[in-house]
Structures are given as C-alpha cells and as structure tokens.
Structure 1
C-alpha cells in the first residue's frame, strides 16, 4: 500500500458508513482520488445490524455488513483509497489541513468530508450488547417490521421514544414502554398520542435489568426502582432503546458550529460547514432521520460540494497568479 505520510490530497473523508463511502464513490468518480479513514467502526452502525430491508436496490434484503462491503467495493473500484485508521487530530489553523491518524501519521487535505456518524446510547448491560442485532435495536424505523404480531419493549421517555413506540404499534401486537420515572419528558401532545394508543402499556418507575435469551431475545427482566421488585416479561421478543444518540463529533468541538447536542450545523440545502473546505454529512449532522439512505444522500451532496469548492479554489488561485 502506498505510503501517504506527508502527502497532500484533494479530499480526505473521515468515517466510512453509508455517508462516507457514498462521498468516496462520488469523489472518486470525479477523479479527486479521495482517501478514506475508516475510523474505529469501519462501515458504521450498519455493521452491527443484521437484516436491512429498507434500502433501495436490495429487494430481498441484505445483511448490514454485506451492504457496507458492497459500498466499499464500489468506491474502491473507482479509485477511492479506504484505509484502516482513526483520525486523532486536525490542525484547523491553516490550509491544507494537517490530519493526524492514529496519533502518528500526518497527511494534508485541501478539503475534508466529515462523516463520523453518531452512536446510539445504550444502557451498558452485557445481555443488551450480546443480543444487539438479534432482537435488541436502537432503531425502530429500521427494525420494527421484523416484529409483526409480537410483544416488544421500548425504553425511553422523550419525544423520540414516543414516536418510535407509535411506529412499533403498526407491527407489534403489544408495546411496553419502560420509563425510570413516574412522568415522561416528552411533549404533552406526544405523550397523549402514545398513551391513548391501546397497544401501548407503560411500566412506570421501571428499568431494564436483563435481556433474556442466548441467541435471540426470549424475554426481559424489569426492576421497579421504588420497590426493587424484579418481574419477568417472558413473551417479549424485541427490545428497542430510545434514550438518545451522541454524534461522534468531539474532534471538531470548538471549531465547527454545532447544536447543543453536538450535531454539526451546515448551511441550508448544502453540506458546507462554517470552515472553508470542510463538509459534513450523514448522522454527524442529521439528528432527524438517521437512515442509511438519507446518510448516503448527504454523502453524495458532500462530494459534489467538495468538488465544486475545489474547482472554485483552483480558479481563484489561477486568477491570483495572473494578476
């Protein structure tokens, strides 16, 4: 593999989920020879997902890791250089931007595409992590249809939890909402819609103690935080977490404009950030949809924005030389 240390590239892409690899595909086809650093979780959140049935072009569904392998193959076919490595530092003070990888290798970028994604918040239970993708999910929109006519549990108390609980009622026979307090954080209208749904039952002052099952979810243990009493729901086959997401944007704090949660802010109808030559796409800047197909769409936008911006810079430099 070619040694990249000290080299200056047109485009460096930070992250390798649907957004990053779509950006790589478009940038490669534009002959920008993009370099992708795949990060600590190559392929992004989809590598922990089993069946994906809602991505266009896969009529029979596809395994998450296989889909991301297909994305990667398509990008590299056109010349994208995808490498293991985590960007550990960026010098934002001057251009081209100096990018440090794994705290040792330094490479320079005329433009950067940030596609570092977001991570779902988890409770941290061993059983929860062991059964991720096997009945435990953090995305009802992605996985709810797999639980038709089944009893599922959803954990959370905000608007997202209410939205996802209602979505799950389209498929599940029963949705049990676990909430650690005796009142919800969600807006009144969202609470009413959820609590009025006959398929939804709330277990107040309750937390998930354990997910039961060896290979798939076969029930849950729930603890009442006031009485410490533990009960078992042995007909539950799905567990959904809706306690929030954290965008993986710590590397850019204090430099790129963000909202209060850490999602990168971009200019309307574009992927431009407040820093010249830095573009953001995917779940690092999308807190509303968080789907593979929308992430891929913004990855396409970021590559096109970067291509146009680089062309503008080249024209400006030529005019400066001729002046």
Structure 2
C-alpha cells in the first residue's frame, strides 16, 4: 500500500514527487521506458528559472529525479497497462510487475506532439526540428524557418516566431486552412509570414550543421520541391497520454483531462492530474512543474482529511 503513486516523470510528475517525498509520504513514481517527458528530447533549455546560462533538457530532468530520490521517492520502470478507480484504495497494473495499491494517484503522463512521420524528422529534434515555438524560437533569431500545419496552433506559432525569424513559411498539405478565421486573418496580415500551401512534406533535409530544407510535393503539379530553411516547427497538434485510463476520467473535446478550476482534482476523489495531460494552453515546463506542486499539496491535504475522518470515527 502506497500513500501516493505518481504516473509519469516529466516536470509535473517529478515536482509532485519532490513535494510528496518532503512531506514524508514516500511516493512511488512510475516511469515509462523513456522517462523524463518531452524535455529529454530537447537540447538547451533557457527559460527555466534558476539557470541563467541555460541547462540541457535531459540534465534538468535528471537533476529533478535525483532531488526526488534524495527525499525518499521510489521509482519503478514499466508501462501502466490498467488502472481501477472504481473504489479506494486504487489498483494500478504495470507490465512486468505485481499490481500496486495506492490511496491517492497523481496522473502526470503529459501529451505527445504529433509528428509527420517523414525521414529526417525525429532524429533531428533539437537539431533544427522542434514542436514548441515558445521553447525554441529564440534560437532562430534572424533566420528563415518553416511552420508545418494549418490549424490555430500553427497560426499562433507562426505569428509568435516572427518575433525572432526573418521569415516564416507556413507549409500546409491543403489549400484551405483549418484555423479559425480570426487566426488566419492575423497570420495573413503579418508581413513576415509567407505561404506554401498544397505542399505535402516528404523529407527533412540536413547537413552536418543541422536542418537545411524541407522537401515537399506540390499537390497541384505533382512535382517535388525543396524549401530552404534553418528550422522546422511541427505544429499539427498534441495527443494527451490518457489511453491507459480507459475512459475512467472525463476529458475535454481535445482529450485533455478535466480538473476542478484552481485545483488538480479530477471527478474521482483521491485522483489528481497535473502537467500537459490536463493543460492544452500553456504546455511549458515551468507551468507543468507548478501544477505538479499543486497536485502534491492537493493529495497531501486529501490524505490528511481522510486520516482525520478515520480518527474521528474510531474515537
């Protein structure tokens, strides 16, 4: 029996682990085969407070993990295959391990960026390919960059990136954009944004220094073209990592977990959600860490309330 179990080890889960461990609740953190969240796929992080010279993403996550371990947090590696929220204590099934029983659960499994699935894409994340404009836009000052996508997120990222880039080219597979009219109008009125529509991305082109271009197919002429660029931002959405919950917690229209505003409480008492799995707006390491702190405090107060109720009944 664990007082608290945290599922996920990004900034949210590790911050929750630090707080719960310091409260002597000896939390168990379940990490997948690729622990650390999206920051482990980034290079230098310059916008996390406390690191004036920046820090490498994997190093930041490793430091947070060591900090949690220092206070007594326990880690276990494996995929969570099933959870049972029908009654407390809750039951968690982990591939290759015995089931775990927990009085409270913090879900911090994050959201995974959607990728195009083309050659040269995944292997160049952090070397010119990015899925986060606010994270990496600063590195492309006065450079030409591409934003792939046609929705509101793509328009927002393209507009934001014009603060740094000399030119932003929006590449979309169709001639029409899915973005709302107000977002389209805002992007079209920006003189730094140009358009390459009806182009289907085929391959990320690189040299020994990084990204050099995006190979696309012109859907109107069926000819291949190369758009030269210094960086490519993939903005086709994110998928919250909630499949293992099997619909036991309500989600919004985009699939993100719903929490009571101002808290990390889900509709099931004792189950809390933090980080990108419940945040489709900010999606930053620091905001995820903040909700991880909130989840730990919410879980601690929940356990205190349950303990006091038990004492009162016994008394």
Instruction: Give the match's secondary structure for 1:217.
Output: strand
Q: Which runs of 5+ in 1 are unaligned?
A: 1-7
CA distance in 1, matches of 2:12, 2:79: 17
Q: Offset of 1:126 from its aligned partner?
A: 2.5
- Correspondences of 1:268-287 after superposition (within 5 Å): 268-287=261-280
Q: Deviations over 1:125-168 (max 9, x none)?
A: 12101111110000011001100011100011111111100111
Which of 132, 147, 166 aligns to 2:140? It is 147
CA distance in 1, matches of 2:41, 2:295: 25
CA distance in 2, matches of 1:99, 1:290: 27
Between Structure 1 and Structure 2, how many residues are aligned? 314
Which residue of structure 1 aligns with residue 220 of structure 2? 226
* Counterpart contact for 2:173–2:201, Cα < 8 Å: no
Which residue of structure 2 aligns with residue 48 of structure 1? 41
TM-score with structure 1 setting the length = 0.95
* Counterpart contact for 1:89–1:103, Cα < 8 Å: no
Q: Offset of 1:227 from its aligned partner?
A: 1.8
CA distance in 1, matches of 2:112, 2:182: 28
Which of 144, 154, 158 aligns to 2:151? It is 158
Instruction: Give the match's secondary structure for 2:92.
Output: strand
* Counterpart contact for 2:82–2:245, Cα < 8 Å: no
Q: Offset of 1:312 from its aligned partner?
A: 0.4
Which residue of structure 1 aligns with residue 285 of structure 2? 292
Q: Which runs of 5+ in 2 are unaligned?
A: none
Q: Deviations over 1:19-76 (max 9, x none)?
A: 0000000000111100001123200010000111110011111111001001111111
TM-score with structure 2 setting the length = 0.97
* Counterpart contact for 2:205–2:211, Cα < 8 Å: yes
4+ aligned runs moved over 6 Å, structure 1: none
Q: What's the C-alpha RMSD, in Å, of the aligned pairs?
A: 1.0
Which residue of structure 2 aligns with residue 240 of structure 1? 233
Which of 106, 110, 113 aligns to 2:103? It is 110
Q: Offset of 1:231 from its aligned partner?
A: 1.1
